[in-house]
Amino acid sequence: MFFGLAIVGCGSDLWSKSVVFAWLGMPEDHRYFWLIEPYVGFQTSLNRGALFGLGQGYTPMFAVFSVIAVLGILYWLFIAKAAYDAILTTALGMITGGIFGNLYDRLGIWGEAAVRDFILFQYGPKYVWPNFNIADALLVCGAALMVWHSLFGKPGGIPSNSVSASEQSEGHR
């Protein structure tokens, strides 16, 4: 499940970036496509920083942090045995897909060392959410799922109102 989510997530992100940038061009072309005008649409932009454009110019540092994060996730899942928890595995698969999608861009494999963003949300000209991409959405949704799991889930993916097999056998003694 982990590898499937990471591969499909990263692949979807890279495919969508390629399609939208080929269609609308680079940001200096100033082209938009509205799904729901003027609230939701596509507009290409490049981000040489991190979340919300913070840390502009630190692309190499964010690439190193991405690699460290993936190594930590792999350790957590497969050595520390967190992979037995389906919710945690799902969240970390989504996060890993997002990390690799943006890492591909940060390494400049597509031609420039910048993350390609294209999803646009705004409410009027004054309230514009920073452009983002599928990798960013995977990172945010994966992190939200981890927070939800830490608040409401039990380790091992056992719902909080369930009784484990060992607890049931102890009750019959």
Which residues are annotated as catalytic?
117, 136
Q: Coil, helix or strand for 134? A: helix
Number of other CB atoms surrounding residue 29 within 10 Å:
10
Contacts of residue 96, defined as CB under 8 A and 6 or more positions apart, other chains included, come to 2, 5, 6, 9, 10, 70, 73
Instruction: Identify the DSSP state of 77.
Output: I
Contacts of residue 170, defined as CB under 8 A and 6 or more positions apart, other chains included, come to none
Alpha carbons within 13 angstroms on the beta-carbon side of residue 39 total 2
Which residue's structure tokens are 């540092």? Answer: 61
Query: Would you say 1 and 89 are in contact if contact means Cβ atoms under 8 Å apart?
Result: yes
Integer Cα distance of 44 and 30 in angstroms: 8
